[in-house]
């Protein structure tokens, strides 16, 4: 009779390639104040694409090409501080944010924030206007 360890070891190569899947839950606070909560398992997706494909009031005029500020998002101080070590804004992003309506100390461009660098549950405030 084959031992349990021998039987399990047949599956070990497949288990090594298995990555735990994270479900991300993003709550967008629209300019009207209405919360819209979305979930996804796609860690490569960014805040802008998730919002646009689900008809959240976030424009993304340049399709994430880092050429506008219409995907401007406002993060909590805690999330923003955490991103300073994981994915700080680039000079290009900071230049574009300087043109964003309603800029805050915790502003980021949604197209530059893949979900994999964010907490699995996050609330994002959208400014009342975009440029």
Q: Model confidence at 12, in pLDDT bands (50, 70, 90)?
A: low
How many C-beta atoms surround the C-beta of residue 44 within 10 A? Answer: 9
User: For the chain, how are helix, strand and coil distributed in percent, rounded to 5?
Assistant: 30, 20, 50
Edge-to-edge order in the sheet of strand 72-74: 35-40, 24-29, 121-125, 72-74, 107-109
Q: Which of 10-14, 104-108, 111-115, 121-125 has the lowest mean pLDDT?
A: 10-14
Rounded Cα distance, 51 and 110, in Å = 9
Rounded Cα distance, 47 and 36, in Å = 13
Report if pTM > 0.75. yes
Rounded Cα distance, 41 and 74, in Å = 22
């Amino acid at each position: 009779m084959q031992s349990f360890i021998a039987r399990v070891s047949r599956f070990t190569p497949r288990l090594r390639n298995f990555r735990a899947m994270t479900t991300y839950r993003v709550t967008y606070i629209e300019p009207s104040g209405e919360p819209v909560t979305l979930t996804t398992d796609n860690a490569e997706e960014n805040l802008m694409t998730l919002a646009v494909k689900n008809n959240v009031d976030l424009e993304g005029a340049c399709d994430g090409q880092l050429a506008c500020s219409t995907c401007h998002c406002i993060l909590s101080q805690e999330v923003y501080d955490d991103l300073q070590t994981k994915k700080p804004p680039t000079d290009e992003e900071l230049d574009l944010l300087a043109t964003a309506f309603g800029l805050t100390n915790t502003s980021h461009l949604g197209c530059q924030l893949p979900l994999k660098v964010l907490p699995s549950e996050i609330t994002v405030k959208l400014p009342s206007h975009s440029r």
